[in-house]
Structure formats: structure tokens, C-alpha cells
Amino acid sequence: MAADVRVICAIGRSGQLGLNGHLPWEGNPGRPFVEDVERFFEISRGHVLVAGPTTIGAVPDFARETRTLVTIRSHEDPREVLSRFPDRVVFIGGGPKVWDVYAPFVRHWDVNVLPYDGEADRWFDPAWLLAGGAARRG
Ligand SMILES: NC(=O)c1ccc[n+]([C@@H]2O[C@H](COP(=O)([O-])OP(=O)(O)OC[C@H]3O[C@@H](n4cnc5c(N)ncnc54)[C@H](OP(=O)(O)O)[C@@H]3O)[C@@H](O)[C@H]2O)c1
């Protein structure tokens, strides 16, 4: 069976995703922010996390041994990457350029909107949510 391809991401109220290589709200001790990170590592435990170099580099040590981490580069074919993991749940971890390419393969989007209104240099694109349908319609 083909991989079950999913995304879990968190965005600010305007779609903020990242800032200077980190989560824009990193270090904020507020409950929604802390719970969001805990939930990500809980749900993705035991599964495959495929992402760009910056995103994989930000995975904390405690989470590295409890999931399969795969750093992808732009020359790689997404179909070939996904074909390495038949029967596995594969989370596509971003960043945006990665989601641009992998969105057509994603079956399940889990998007948590956090109470953040500050700046960002990486943004969520709502078109990703419909990319799978567009691909299926041809
Ligand atoms: N809020 C969230 O849920 C969330 C989740 C993930 C990331 N983020 C944030 O996003 C930022 C990191 O993302 P980023 O985009 O800057 O860096 P990234 O994670 O390294 O991802 C982008 C890189 O992935 C590589 N890549 C691999 N496959 C690709 C493909 N098929 N097409 C295009 N590029 C591909 C490219 O590098 P090469 O061209 O060098 O191969 C590209 O520059 C951070 O600020 C992070 O905190 C937020």
C-alpha cells in the first residue's frame, strides 16, 4: 500500500509559519504554544517525518530516536521519496517550498491556528489544502 501522507502544522492568525528559521512564537510559554509542540511530537511518534534541511535540523534531540527522520532536497522526486515508505504514515514537515511540491499527495491536513499576530517570513498557503483534489481531477 502507498504511504499515508499527512501534515501537522501550526499557523498564526494570518497564516504565519516561520521566522528566521524558527517557529515565530518559539519560546512563548503560553499553553496553546507549548501544547501544540507536544501534540506534534506525540502524534508523529513512530512515524516518518520528511522535511527540508532547516525543519529537520530543528527537531529536538528527545524526538530523534522515536521517529524516522528524512531530510529531502529539491532535486529529489517526491514520488520516489514517498515510495520508500509503503504502509507507513508519512508526515510532510515543510517548509513552504516542500509543501508546494508535496501538497498534491497529502490526504490529511491538521492545521492548528495559534493566537499569534506577529511577524513572519514563512507563510501558509491555503491552496495547499485543495492541491490533492486538483491533482485527482487532473
Ligand atoms: N509552523 C509550522 O508548523 C512549521 C512547520 C515547518 C517549518 N516551519 C518553519 O519554516 C521554516 C523552515 O522552512 P524553510 O522553507 O525555510 O526551510 P526547509 O525546512 O529547509 O525547507 C525548504 C528547503 O527544502 C528543500 N527541498 C526539499 N525538497 C524540495 C522540493 N521538492 N522543492 C523545493 N525545495 C525542496 C530546499 O532546499 P535545497 O534546495 O537546498 O534542497 C528548500 O530550500 C522555519 O522558520 C520553521 O520554523 C514551521
Is any ligand 1 atom within 6 A of the Cβ of residue 92?
Answer: no
Amino acid symbol at 85: F
Instruction: Check pocket membership of 24 for ligand 1, CB cut-off 6 A.
Output: no
Nearest ligand 1 atom, CA 20: 45
Q: Which residues contact 7 (CB under 8 A, 6 or more apart)?
A: 91, 92, 93, 94, 99, 106, 108, 109, 110, 111, 128
Q: 107 in ligand 1 pocket by Cβ < 6 Å?
A: no
Q: Tens digit of pLDDT for each residue in 59-79? A: 999 999 999 999 999 999 999
Residue ranges covered by each domain of the chain: 4-137
Separation of 122 CA from ligand 1 center, angstroms?
9
CATH superfamily of 4-137: Dihydrofolate Reductase, subunit A (3.40.430.10)
CA atoms of 54 and 40, how far apart (whole Å): 17
Torsion angle defined by CA atoms of residues 132, 81, 46 and 8, in that order, rounded to the nearest 10 degrees: -30
Average of per-residue pLDDT across 95-123: 98
**Average pLDDT in the 72-94 region?**
97
Rounded to the nearest whole angstrom, what is the distance from the C-alpha of residue 138 to the centroid of ligand 1?
26
Q: Which of 5, 77, 122 to mutate to test the pocket of ligand 1 (most atoms within 8 A of CB)?
A: 122
Q: What is the mean pLDDT of residues 107-115?
A: 98
Per-residue pLDDT at 135 exceeds 90: no
- Cα gap 21→65, rounded to integer Å: 23
pLDDT at 138 over 60: no
- Rounded average pLDDT over 115-128: 98
| H-run or E-run covering 133 | helix 128-137
Helix (H, G, I), strand (E, B) or coil at 137: helix
